[in-house]
Amino acid sequence: MSIHKELSAYRQELSACVRCGACQAQCPTYLATSKEGAAARGNLVLATELLAGRAELDAEAVRDLSLCLLCGACVHSCPNQVPTDAIVSVLRREISKKKGLGLLGKGVAALTGNPRLLGSLMRGAGLFSSLFFEKIPETSGLRLRFSPHTLQDRVFPPLPRQNMFARLPQKLPGRPDKPTLAFFAGCTISYLYPEIAEATVRVLQHLGYTVLVPRQQGCCGMPALSSGNGELLKQLVRANTAAFANLAVDHIITACASCGAALHQVHQAQHVQPGETGQDCTSFANKVMDIHVFLEKEGCLHTLADLLTTTTATSQRIKVCYHDPCHLKNHGVTREPRALLRTLPMVDYVEMDGAALCCGLGGTFSASQPDLSRTIADRKIEGLAASGAELVASGCPGCILQLTDIIHRAGLPMQAVHTMTLALAALEQALATKEEM
């Protein structure tokens, strides 16, 4: 498919850009660099000129396109809702087709396209260990994607002894009068933070829902989208659609903001034909729902509050603030996570200045642009420090990974956690109290 054909699908959207610059005020990269070409307006001008045959993807254009985090802030702030993130993704796929995947893209493909390899690395030497790096050649994409240079001085969580698939059964039974749900984890939760998966499905089970955890699910596709690997995107869409195709579920729940955004975007883009996997990709995307949205939409916060009535608020409540993941905030999900935190009796919720500022991770962006990633991340430090919180909660494991690094570099006396781990802790405390009564 030519770049002209793919961009033609966005001809109307491109013409809707009025060059107002509203996107610049929200773009993390522009705010850090003041580089016009890196902001949405510059990217849209480039796309328009490419479509008209008046420009080409030269070295400068490629560099500018690489600075986009695909966070969606520009779309959220655009008065005409021009889908710049989707258009940048088209341009990146064209770059990959013309120039081939770089080492970073090959590393992403090797890992996200092969869950067995990723699982083996996590169980073996460890994805981030020096022993692992010593065993692979300098030119390997794996070495660049997770290289000692890229990860220098970064802090990572200790590798879990068991991944999500080892810790959770394929089915957690609930009440027959409640809907059946499926859980989509994504790579970071599956292999780095399986406790987030356990917390999410256990809370849902406590609320009476049956939860299915398909074993054949894989990467959401965000890293492939970010690196411009169109073929890998199709492979992942096929695999994930097939993994959930025959499940009689009402919703597919995510606890990762980036996974939720990616599943909506890549499945709605119809990267495979409806007949290829036995399920329409749009149908799959329409079932995907963030855990916080689900809990509030289904009235679960009231049920949760009732279950927590045995736990009294004490003077030992934990002061908690919240960080807005871009892929929740830019899809209008800001109230629901805060409502959950305020429901928990052991939480003393405080609003943090700069809660909506991007953390700078951006999937592969932190690997391809480590210095810029940290420049963007450092804007979070002042708000975190001023909050006085012991914990900063978030709804995205990628953000938690980045926040952990920010906190460590700034020497702040706090930790980053997922909202659902706090919810499960509160439930377990309430249930233990009830048994003692």
Output the domain CATH number for residue 386. Answer: 3.40.50
User: Quick one: 94 and 183 in the same domain?
Assistant: no
User: Quick one: 304 and 432 in the same domain?
Assistant: yes
Final residue in a domain of this structure, among 99, 118, 150: 99
Final residue in a domain of this structure, among 246, 281, 297: 297
Query: Minimum mean pLDDT among 271-275, 375-379, 415-419: which range?
Result: 271-275
User: Quick one: 210 and 324 in the same domain?
Assistant: no
User: Quick one: 284 and 332 in the same domain?
Assistant: no
Q: What is the pLDDT of residue 9?
A: 87
C-beta neighbour count of 115 within 10 angstroms? 20
Query: Minimum mean pLDDT among 10-14, 203-207, 341-345, 364-368: which range?
Result: 364-368
Which amino acid is it at 260?
Answer: G
User: Quick one: 178 and 292 in the same domain?
Assistant: yes
Burial of residue 393, with CB atoms counted within 10 A of its CB: 0-12 exposed, 13-18 middle, 19 or more buried: buried
Would the pLDDT of 253 be above 70? yes
Would the pLDDT of 117 be above 60? no
Q: What is the DSSP string of 24-92?
A: TTT-HHHHHH--GGGSHHHHHHHHHHHHTTS----HHHHHHHHT-----HHHHH-TT---HHHHHHHHH
Q: State the residue range of the domain holding 339.
A: 300-436
pLDDT in tens, 312-371: 555 579 999 999 999 999 999 999 999 999 999 999 999 999 999 999 998 778 888 889
Residues in the chain: 437
User: Quick one: 266 and 305 in the same domain?
Assistant: no
Q: What is the pLDDT of residue 266?
A: 79
Q: How many domains does the chain have?
A: 3
Would the pLDDT of 294 be above 80? yes
Q: What is the pLDDT of residue 121?
A: 53
pLDDT in tens, 125-173: 454 454 444 443 343 333 334 444 555 566 767 778 889 999 999 999 9
Residue 264: strand, helix, or coil: helix
Q: Quote the percentage of the chain above a pLDDT of 90.
A: 59
Which amino acid is it at 323?
Answer: H
Q: What is the pLDDT of residue 152?
A: 56
Q: What is the pLDDT of residue 107?
A: 54
Please, which pLDDT band fits residue 434 given cuts at 50, 70 and 90?
Answer: confident
Residue 149: strand, helix, or coil: coil
The phi and psi torsions of 183 (rounded to 5 degrees) equal -115, 125
Q: What is the pLDDT of residue 225?
A: 86
Average pLDDT taken over every residue of the chain: 85
Query: Minimum mean pLDDT among 194-203, 219-228, 282-291: which range?
Result: 219-228
